[in-house]
Structure 1
Amino acid sequence: MRILPVALLAWSVAAAPASAEQDLLLGANMNTPAMTQAEMSRGDIEALIAQAAGEPIDLTDKALSGLDLSGLNLKGANLRTARLNKTNLRGADLTGANLEQAWFIKADLSGAKLVGAKMFGITARDANLSGADLSWSMPIGDFRGANMSGASLVDLKGGADLKNQSMGLMRAVFVSVNLKGANLKGANLSRSRLEYADLTDADLTDVVLMGSDLSGANLTGATVAGADFKNVEVGGARLQSLKGQDSAKGWSALVNADRAITDKTN
């Protein structure tokens, strides 16, 4: 089987049709040392941080899977195409870090700071981002199955860029993501994939969801004031006990609204 370069594969998996995903993941050889082991220790990285004297460190394309990097100051670090599968980054500071095309499968980023982080092409399936701060970040990648409960995603930029034809299909993939109680105020998730996402009690104030897929998602108790729902697919979605629905935009343009579960559903 032809093996795709890691840098290319990270986005290919996120954008591929469901039928092709398994083949692409197999093509990445997920069980090889490059994807499961580390070429550096925590001590090595701490030494780099000390030597950098406050400047961002460069960990481009490094194999760092399985390490305990919890609590480290990695502000602005370059982790582009790095592999951090099952890595413990609990409480780490990744503010402004470059995480483009990096791998974070089953990584623990709970409570981490990812404010303004670049995440184009990131693969973070089944990662733990509970309580993390992703405000003003650009998570254009694959987060399916991740735990983002209680996370802050204020003003994040996860929507497709239709002005750039080469990037028009690249968007946030939040399929089956746990977003219970998450703060998404002002986020752009236009044309994003949110099938079966759990948005119970989430704050979607002024969120742009235009053209996104919320089929099967649970929005029970969510705040939707000012949110743009134009052309949003809601077949099978739970739209019950919503707050601020009267000021939501595009509600009359929902797709498959008759198949959604609402307060009027018997």
Structure 2
Amino acid sequence: MRRLALSFMLAALAAGPAAAEQDLLLGADMSSPAMTRAEMSRADVEALIKGADGKPVDLHDKSLSGLDLSGLNLRGANLRTARLNKANLRGSDLSGANLEQAWFIKADLSGAKLAGAKMFGITARNADLSGADLSRSMPIGDFKGANMAGATLVDLKGGADIRNQSMGLMRAVFVSVNLSGANLKGADLGRSRLEYANLTDADLTDVVLMGSDLSGANLTGATVNGADFKNVDVSGARLIDLKGQQEAKDWAERVNADRAVTQASD
């Protein structure tokens, strides 16, 4: 079941916006024990960490949903294909961890350290990543509805890899994500999905947005100097009180610029 669900997930992400939106979780039984229960306790995980003697712990493909793993040192841990839905990872250190194809639906990752983490194919819908550090991470997955308010996403690598045609449309999905006040300096979000994202007061300095979808997003008060807006869909986007707009790249190359909101309503 898990392999089938993962294959559907990756196929949907590669198929394009419509398919990804409709079929991302197709084939996954979200009510099954594999998705909702834990096969280990916090004590078991702590014992593994202690036994690893400073080396990265291996928790790949484990069912850890609902566990309280807050504050644990999971640096470099192998959590590939693991299920951590509704798990509490508040303040945990997951720097450099392998989170590829893992499940974090409604998980609490607030204040967690995720710098350099691998997230290809991750599903983290409605997860709480507020104040988390995702610098230099590779979140090519689904974060729809997540809370990333105040998060650090410096040099994040979320852009689609068009060099590989079979995976050329794999992208970061930040639909309806709260990125208010987030630091995205130097992030690559090329061809990403950011529809209805909240980017108020976010720092988008030197961010690559080329080809991304910002329709309906709120960028009020955001800093955009050096950000690349070539072929960015801004239909219905709120582009109000932007800082550094004159220094933004390819500002005239925005798509549906006439449909953007550029003045606050009375």
TM-score range, shorter chain: over 0.9
Q: How far apart in 1 are the matches of 2:134 and 2:172? A: 13
Q: How far apart in 2 are the matches of 1:60 and 1:86? A: 17
Paired AA for residue 114 in structure 2 = L
2:107 equivalent to 1:99: no
Q: Compared with structure 1, are the counterparts of its residues 110 and 195 closer, same or farther at alpha carbon in structure 2 (3 Å cutoff)?
A: same
2:87 equivalent to 1:84: no
Deviations 1:225-249 (A, max 9, x none): 0000001000000000000000000
What is residue 171 of structure 1 aligned with on the other side?
A: 171
Cα distance, 1:205 vs. partner? 0.1
Deviations 1:67-94 (A, max 9, x none): 0000000000000000000000000000
Classify the secondary structure of the residue corresponding to 2:50: helix
Cα distance, 1:264 vs. partner? 8.5
Q: How far apart in 1 are the matches of 2:20 and 2:192? A: 19
Matched-pair contact (CA < 8 Å) for 1:11–1:122: no
Mapping 1:210-221, distance limit 5 Å? 210-221=210-221
Classify the secondary structure of the residue corresponding to 1:44: helix
Q: How far apart in 2 are the matches of 1:60 and 1:9? A: 20
Q: How far apart in 2 are the matches of 1:19 and 1:187? A: 26
Q: How far apart in 2 are the matches of 1:264 and 1:75? A: 44
Q: How far apart in 2 are the matches of 1:145 and 1:125? A: 6
Q: How far apart in 2 are the matches of 1:241 and 1:181? A: 14
2:150 equivalent to 1:150: yes
Q: How far apart in 2 are the matches of 1:194 and 1:24? A: 16
Cα distance, 1:25 vs. partner? 2.5
Q: How far apart in 2 are the matches of 1:73 and 1:196? A: 34
Q: Compute the RMSD of aligned alpha carbons.
A: 1.8
Mapping 1:63-74, distance limit 5 Å? 63-74=63-74
Paired AA for residue 11 in structure 1 = L
Classify the secondary structure of the residue corresponding to 1:199: coil
Paired AA for residue 69 in structure 1 = L
Aligned residues: percent identity? Answer: 77
What is residue 53 of structure 1 aligned with on the other side?
A: 53
Classify the secondary structure of the residue corresponding to 1:189: coil
Paired AA for residue 219 in structure 1 = L
Deviations 1:2-57 (A, max 9, x none): 88524324434544554675555352010000000000000000000000010001
Query: Unmatched 5+ residue regions in structure 1?
Result: none
Q: How far apart in 2 are the matches of 1:139 and 1:64? A: 20
TM-score of the pair, normalised by structure 1: 0.95
Deviations 1:131-172 (A, max 9, x none): 000000000000000000000000000001111112210010
Classify the secondary structure of the residue corresponding to 1:63: coil
Matched-pair contact (CA < 8 Å) for 1:4–1:28: no
Alignment coverage as a number of residue pairs:
265
Paired AA for residue 254 in structure 2 = L
What is residue 40 of structure 1 aligned with on the other side?
A: 40
Cα distance, 1:203 vs. partner? 0.1
What is residue 133 of structure 1 aligned with on the other side?
A: 133
Q: How far apart in 2 are the matches of 1:119 and 1:155? A: 14
Q: Compared with structure 1, are the counterparts of its residues 93 and 159 closer, same or farther at alpha carbon in structure 2 (3 Å cutoff)?
A: same
Deviations 1:88-138 (A, max 9, x none): 000000000000000000000000000000000000000000000000000
TM-score of the pair, normalised by structure 2: 0.95
